[in-house]
Amino acid sequence: MKWLDALTKGHFIDKAINTECQDIDRYAAAHFTHCLPDGFDANVATLWYKLVLVLNLAQRAGHSCLILADVANKEMVTGLRLPDEAQLVDCIAQCLEHMPSACFGLEHGCFYSGRYMAFERDIAAAVSRRASVSSPDQDEDDINAFMAQHWASWFDGAAFTDSPQDKQQQAVSKALRANLLIVNGGPGTGKTYTAAKILAALRELYQQKEKSSLKILLAAPTGKAAQRLTEALQSQSGHGAQTLHRLLGVRMDRVEPKFNEHNKLHCDVLLVDEASMIDLSLMARLFRALPDRCVLIMLGDANQLPSVESGNVLKELVDAASHPEAPYDVVTLNKSYRFGGALGEFADAVLYGQNSQIRALLDADNGITRVDMSQDPNIFTQKAIADFSALFQSDSPKEALERARSARWLTPMRRGQWGVESLNQQIEMALSRKYKQVLPERVYAGKLIMITQNHYSASLFNGDVGVVWPDDTGNLMAWFEGPHGDLVSHHVARLPANITAFAMTVHKSQGSEFDHPTLVLPPVSDFTPQTRQLIDRALIYTAVTRAKKALCISSSVESLEMAILQKHSRMSGLAKQIFTLAGR
């Protein structure tokens, strides 16, 4: 196939594509193009090569498929423009006949790799099955009578109605009728409070019906989120929360987790927090392992950043629920009980892309400030010292940890001048000018560290932040807050993998709050195509909603507005899969 040799060397594609594709992308595209038989139409084969190449790039960017209507007649990669949808469908149909079994698929106008198509199919099938199973096994009149009996005690004397207007009451009402409920909402809207009410109601209903206890499990995608969930809801569940990986028995040396479609989890209710962080693969494994009669409650904020890996399952499920015949319920809590004022207005302005409102709020005296550290190194040094001095003036590790929650710098990136690695080095250099014990990239009293690898026996989890501080004998130890608010110390040399944490990525900050964080954005001149893929409206919204009292943004107005203009959505066919299985 001389045409294929030429193709893989870039003769059919603008050489600029080589800067955006990795060798693995070209290898995969070439490998599956080699599966086509001799004499196959060279033009169709060339288009197939391009489609597989673009699919690989899309999956690495977080998409689960290519929606052909969305990519047709568009330049998906520099120098690579795809033809119209009809040609794409015809090409895929011809080439799929010659591909190894289950490697690719075309469904509902979406082009998949086989793995991601299976994930979306499994989630859609599980959602559809759950809609047909009523749990607990009671009719509408029984449930209404039960709620009327207990409603006043659950909601401070409120009168019962079978169509409550209050969103938290709606969530409790729906949870008693459904096997799948999503409680969606921004920070401070009472998701955890609502979850506690739901669990209490389910327990009382189950005891009334079965005269036995309800087995409730709690889980979250990260160790840090699981620890917070334990602190909030352990009294309701009787068990601490686990990471989803630990709950399912995911093991590094095996493809299948311990709990799967052949070995289901043993629970009556599973409550999962921070659902926006769950990627497509993990969500599929979760649904496979759940008994159909188990009540699944998911909490999350669909407007926050999607998972690091492929998929944006929570947002897909929330958006699909807007259909009047969606086979599950979503309750969106929209009243914030702790996140309001200027910060709340600013978050809303970011969420809806209202740049004029953003400028007005930045100009007002309201706790939201803007600096541009890229213009003056002295501003960087002064701000680093101002933000973290209180930490070094602490008298105990407990006080140091409390003060560490006041300030944190957030950035979209790990690498580059404005990434986590560089920012932490620069912050340490700035602090060393005032505090002699600060030794950049060494261990010293006051150093903030973040665990990046779960260590279950030590109860340290990916995302946990601690501080280095001397113990009573003067030895430097790493101190972390324990599950009950107590302090736990570990020898620094025995810690799992960790990094400096004066600055952290916005992704890592999800689920955390700080009194006055700083969001650091690169200057406009550094907005490369790769940077634009990282920085968008959802990222800015996520960073802004980490603030409790005040917010500082280190950026030019142009950089901030450019970031907010970027509104990425991940391509997925999950909603189409759900509606097809539901008979629509």
Euclidean distance between CA atoms 132 and 312, whole angstroms: 25
In three state form, how does the secondary structure of 352-371 look? Answer: CCCHHHHHHHHHCCCCEEEE
Say whether 157 counts as a known binding-site residue. no
Euclidean distance between CA atoms 201 and 177, whole angstroms: 11
Q: What is the CA radius of gyration of the chain?
A: 26
Euclidean distance between CA atoms 160 and 169, whole angstroms: 9
Q: Where are the beta strands (DSSP E) in 482-548?
A: 487-491, 498-500, 503-505, 518-520
Question: Which residues make beta-bridge pairs with 369?
Answer: 552
Q: Are 198 and 169 in contact (CB under 8 A)?
A: no
Beta pairing, strands 104-107 & 110-113: antiparallel
Sign of the alpha-carbon torsion through 358, 359, 360, 363? positive
Name the one residue in this structure whose structure tokens are 């690898």.
453
Q: Are 307 and 193 in contact (CB under 8 A)?
A: no
Say whether 187 counts as a known binding-site residue. yes
Say whether 186 counts as a known binding-site residue. yes
Euclidean distance between CA atoms 244 and 229, whole angstroms: 13
Greatest Cα pair distance, the chain, in angstroms, is: 79
Q: Which residues contact 441 (CB under 8 A, 6 or more apart)?
A: 425, 428, 500
Say whether 10 counts as a known binding-site residue. no
Euclidean distance between CA atoms 165 and 188, whole angstroms: 19
Say whether 416 counts as a known binding-site residue. no
Q: Which residues contact 417 (CB under 8 A, 6 or more apart)?
A: 522, 526
End-to-end CA distance of the chain: 45
Alpha carbon 250 to chain centroid, angstroms:
19
Say whether 340 counts as a known binding-site residue. no
Say whether 185 counts as a known binding-site residue. yes
Say whether 327 counts as a known binding-site residue. no
Q: Are 41 and 98 in contact (CB under 8 A)?
A: no
Name the one residue in this structure whose structure tokens are 């929606």.
67
Residue 396: strand, helix, or coil: coil
Binding residues for ATP: 185-192
Binding residues: 185-192
